[in-house]
C-alpha cells in the first residue's frame, strides 16, 4: 500500500480532472487527428489506471466516481 498524504492524493485527483478536461475538449472536435485520438486514449487509460488504485478510488466522492467511470468509457 502506498503511503500518500492527503495533499498528494488530492493532487492525483486534480491531475485526473486535468485528463477529464482534455477529454471533454477533444470530444468537441468533429474530426480527430491520429495524434488527438492517441491523446484521448492515453488520458482515458490514465483515468482507468487511477480508478484501479484503492487509495485514489476511496478519495473520490460518489459523483466523482460516476463521472470518471463515465468519461473513460471507449465508444
Q: What is the mean pLDDT of each run of 10 residues along the chain (75 residues)?
A: 87 96 95 96 95 96 96 77
pLDDT for residue 72? 87
pLDDT at 3: 86
Q: Using CB atoms within 10 A of its CB, is residue 40 exposed (0-12), middle (13-18) or buried (19+)?
A: buried
The reported pLDDT for the residue numbered 10 is 95
pLDDT reported for residue 75: 60
Q: What is the pLDDT of residue 52?
A: 96
Q: What is the pTM of this model?
A: 0.88
Amino acid at each position: 500500500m502506498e503511503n500518500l498524504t492527503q495533499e498528494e492524493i488530492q493532487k492525483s485527483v486534480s491531475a485526473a480532472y486535468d485528463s477529464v478536461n482534455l477529454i471533454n475538449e477533444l470530444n468537441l472536435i468533429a474530426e480527430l487527428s491520429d495524434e488527438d485520438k492517441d491523446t484521448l486514449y492515453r488520458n482515458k487509460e490514465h483515468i482507468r489506471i487511477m480508478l484501479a488504485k484503492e487509495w485514489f478510488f476511496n478519495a473520490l466522492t460518489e459523483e466523482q466516481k460516476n463521472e470518471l467511470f463515465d468519461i473513460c468509457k471507449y465508444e
